[in-house]
Amino acid sequence: MLKTENLSVGYGNNIIVKNINLDMKEGEILCIIGPNGAGKSTLLKTIATYLKPKNGAVYLDGKKIHELTPSQLAKEMAIVLTERVNPGNMTGFDIIAIGRHPYTDLFGRLSKEDKDIVVDSAKSVNAEYLLHKNFFEMSDGERQKIMIARALAQEPEILILDEPTSYLDAKHKIELTLLLRELSSQNNLAIIVTLHDIELALRIADKMALIKNHEILAFGYPENVMSREVVNNLYDLDNANYGEYIGYFELKNKIKIKNKKVFIVCGGGTGAPVLRYLVKNGYEPVVGVLHKNDADYFIAENMGIDIIAEEAYDPISYEKFEKAKKEIDHADAVVYTKFPSGKTNILNNELVEYAKNKYMKSIFYESDISVLKDI
């Protein structure tokens, strides 16, 4: 449907991103990510025909998109940019109605069909209640809905959004994420979006393009291209690791200002809050015995924490059990998160009993992180 062929983009005589080869189909979402200044918006504006290509071309259904007339393009593509608009006293209906401009007569009059499409566009983004509200009275999340509804009123094949979550709180970010996913599948829309939030991108993207150093670092299915090595390189990470299995970043265990070793007995994700607390407060955590398919293992490994690990599904071995006991002997405290145990990790219960019998500080963590403050 849409593809770029050896595309290079930029301003004036400067090429910002070169040799771009992307493709997408109807109903797909393409997320473009990368550090600030990498050229994400420049690429987006070139695809939207706001800028001319420096080299190569953008094709839509086999036609060069920059050769389409404005009226042709308006029926094929709709754009929502990050710039805040100030439309005076216009209502939500008035803003959405602008999207019908390519279809109205010489005087811009709306037919009954046009008005119905305006209302339907508002309904599709759950914004019908905003039709008669002044735009300047709306929240950022409400304004974003109206701008997307205006784009939908154009009845495009492709929807382009530049950093649509920039001014939104957590609730509205999630709502927008779900909305884009619904629009792509229900309206068969191809959606191209730039995002800073990798977690959101992973949850909505069918394809991802990663931009760095004037070129496409990786392009393809997020499940294929979003590896730790690639994402760490993308953002030049030194003090954090991207976790490809959990889809977000963890701070590395580098700052050790407490000079206290804490052994954590956890599993099934119950250790995550404890591990994050200890790392950011400068303790020296050691965790075990964890199986290599456990959520806590992935989190601890991302943080660079010392782990006593067992292979997935194997019962904890005597060797690993004894190694954990030695770590407990040298720990200042042991934290136990009261996680469910079974045949493969039952020896962890004995580790907890061993810690108790050593007369050392044993902390039972369930949900209140404040129990750790006196370690």
Burial of 231 from C-beta contacts in 10 A (0-12 / 13-18 / 19+): buried
- 71 and 217 share a domain? yes
Question: Strands 14-20 and 248-251, how do they pair?
Answer: unpaired
Say what the pLDDT of residue 360 is: 65
Residue 242 falls inside a structural domain = no
Are 232 and 355 in a shared domain?
no
Helices (H), the chain: 40-47, 70-76, 92-97, 112-124, 140-153, 170-186, 198-204, 222-225, 228-234, 272-280, 295-303, 318-329, 347-357
Residue 134 shares a structural domain with residue 90: yes
Residue 296 lies in a domain: yes
What 3-state class would DSSP assign to 157? coil
Return the residue matching tokens 């959004």. 161
Do both 258 and 207 map to the same domain? no
Is residue 311 domain-resident? Answer: yes
CATH of the domain at 121: 3.40.50.300
In a shared domain, residues 231 and 279: no
Q: Are residues 136 and 272 in the same domain?
A: no
User: 69 and 39 share a domain?
Assistant: yes
Instruction: Name the domain count of the chain.
Output: 2
* pLDDT surpassing 80 at residue 362: no
pLDDT of the residue at 254: 80
Which strand ranges, in their side-by-side order, compose the sheet holding 333-336? Answer: 306-310, 284-291, 261-265, 333-336, 361-364
Judge whether 155 lies within some domain. Answer: yes
**Same-domain check for residues 225 and 165:** yes
**Domain interval for residue 312:** 250-372
Least confident span in 175-179, 186-190, 265-269:
175-179
Instruction: Specify whether 87 is located in the same domain as 227.
Output: yes
Residues 224-245 have pLDDT tens digits of 999 999 999 999 998 899 988 8
Quick one: 22 and 153 in the same domain?
A: yes
pLDDT digits (tens, 9 = 90+) for 144-154: 899 999 999 99
Beta-sheet pairing, 29-33 with 190-194: parallel
Shared domain check, 259 and 228? no
Model confidence band, residue 165 (pLDDT cutoffs 50, 70, 90): confident
pLDDT, tens digit, 9 for 90 and up, residues 264-319? 999 999 999 999 999 999 999 999 999 999 999 999 999 999 999 999 999 999 99
- Which pLDDT tens digit goes with each residue over 21-50? 999 999 999 999 999 889 999 999 999 999
Question: Within a domain: residue 280?
Answer: yes
> What's residue 5's pLDDT?
95
Q: Which of 178, 213, 236 is the last residue of a domain?
A: 236
pLDDT at 120 over 90: yes
Question: Is the pLDDT assigned to residue 191 strictly greater than 90?
Answer: yes
Share of the chain above pLDDT 90, in %: 61
In a domain, residue 243? The reply is no
Cα torsion angle, 196, 200, 202, 204, sign: negative
Report the alpha-carbon distance of residue 7 to residue 17 in Å, rounded.
8
Q: Per the domain annotation, does 87 fall within a domain? A: yes
Q: Single out the residue in 204, 236, 268 at which a domain terminates.
A: 236
What are the backbone angles phi and psi of residue 79, rounded to the nearest 5°?
A: -125, 135
CB-count exposure of residue 295 (10 Å: 0-12, 13-18, 19+): middle
- Quick one: 269 exposed, middle or buried, by C-beta within 10 A (0-12, 13-18, 19+)? middle
Domain boundary among 191, 209, 236: 236
Average pLDDT, whole number, for the chain?
90
Query: How many other CB atoms sit within 10 Å of the CB of residue 31?
Result: 25
Q: Taking residues 156-172, report their average pLDDT.
A: 87
The CATH number that applies at residue 254 is 3.40.50.1220
Task: For residues 350-360, give the mean pLDDT.
Answer: 84
Task: Tell me the pLDDT band of 327, cut-offs 50, 70 and 90.
Answer: very high
Q: Is residue 92 part of a domain?
A: yes
Q: Cα 223–225–228 angle (5° rounding)?
A: 95
User: Residue 363: its pLDDT value, please?
Assistant: 78
Same domain, 324 and 193: no
- Predicted model pTM: 0.84
Cβ atoms of 312 and 245 within 8 Å: the answer is: no
Q: How confident is the model at residue 107 (pLDDT cuts 50, 70, 90)?
A: low
In which band, very low, low, confident or very high, does the pLDDT at 83 lie, cut at 50, 70 and 90?
low
